[in-house]
Amino acid sequence: MTYFLQQLINGLQLGFVYALIALGYTMVYGIVRLINFAHGDVFMVGAYLGFFAIGSFHLPFPLALAFAMAGCAVLGMAIERIAYKPLRSAPKIAALITAIGVSLFLEYFTSLNFVFGPNYQAFPIPFKVTVYQLGGISISTIQILVFATSLILLIILQYIVQKTKIGMAMRAVSHDKETASLMGINVNMVISLTFGIGSAMAGAGGVLYGVAYPQINPFMGIMPGLKSFVAAVLGGIGSIPGAMIGALIMGVVETMSSAFISSTMRDAIAFSILILVLLVKPTGLMGKKGSEKV
């Protein structure tokens, strides 16, 4: 039983990091119906910003986190402004291809020697790590940090979306863009903000991932990005609670497959979930059925 609980904790640690990334996917999809494939790479930039903040500027963890989140928010908004906004009235496929292009650009540009370099970097941990034993289960400071930070950020996000005016504007725009603009909402600003918030969450995810698995490189965002995308689809793309639940499920399933089946199967199983969801319930666990208005 303790073995199962330990594996569950491992899975939740992974799941919370996926949740932070998945939120960005789902929020952006909800608002502009675009799958932002570059999101995984914003996550990667967040990890590097955290790496520089802690390693070069010697900032304490909360400041480093804030630095990474701010940097990624700016990056996300810049990407939206430069790459996606001009294509808002173009067919969806154009924006999708552009997103892939932005993703590749971020990966290969940052792997140039004068930017981040293509080599692995060891992520510095700015606090002492202690391992607590509860019964037969080990929990380390890192796991506690991941849980705490993710939960706090998720609660803040829920508050913003549900209880503030700007959140209401975001929900309105994702419901119906034209009508929202008719109601006096500045749609462009709302879209920028959504990208900004989603990217900031991904940046936080990047720093936490760097702390938990302290080896970063410019291509580290590909796998977590893809898995978080699957998580967002699983939870219902466009639904924020769905993304959180989907991500936790993904993290736990991935860890359990590694624990009880085989570690080499974990990716195969994680991605089969995507196929299964699309076959059985394409709108996801909590997805809303998109109604076609004639």
Binding site for other proteins (CB under 8 A): 3, 6-7, 10-11, 13-14, 118-120, 122, 129, 131, 133, 138, 140, 142, 212-215, 217, 220, 223, 255-256, 258-259, 262-264, 266-267
Long-range contacts of 265-272 (CB under 8 A, 24+ apart): 267/223, 270/227, 270/230, 271/226, 271/227, 271/230
Which whole-number Å values give the CA distances from 198 to 20, 54, 73, 108, in the listed order? Answer: 8, 23, 8, 22
Pairing of β 137-140 and β 131-134: antiparallel
Nearest CB to other proteins, comparing residues 4 and 57? 4
Give yes or no for a contact between 239 and 284, defined as CB atoms under 8 angstroms apart. yes
Nearest CB to other proteins, comparing residues 141 and 283? 141
Smallest separation, CB 143 to other proteins (Å):
8
Start-end of H helices in the chain? 2-32, 39-55, 61-79, 92-110, 141-163, 165-175, 177-182, 187-212, 222-235, 240-256, 266-280
Smallest separation, CB 113 to other proteins (Å):
9
Give yes or no for a contact between 212 and 17, defined as CB atoms under 8 angstroms apart. yes
Smallest separation, CB 259 to other proteins (Å):
4
Nearest CB to other proteins, comparing residues 6 and 158? 6
Smallest separation, CB 150 to other proteins (Å):
15
**Is the C-alpha dihedral spanning 43, 49, 52, 55 positive or negative?**
negative
Smallest separation, CB 174 to other proteins (Å):
32
Smallest separation, CB 31 to other proteins (Å):
31
Nearest CB to other proteins, comparing residues 166 and 259? 259
- What is the C-alpha separation between 64 and 267, in angstroms, rounded? 31
Nearest CB to other proteins, comparing residues 95 and 146? 146
Nearest CB to other proteins, comparing residues 10 and 194? 10
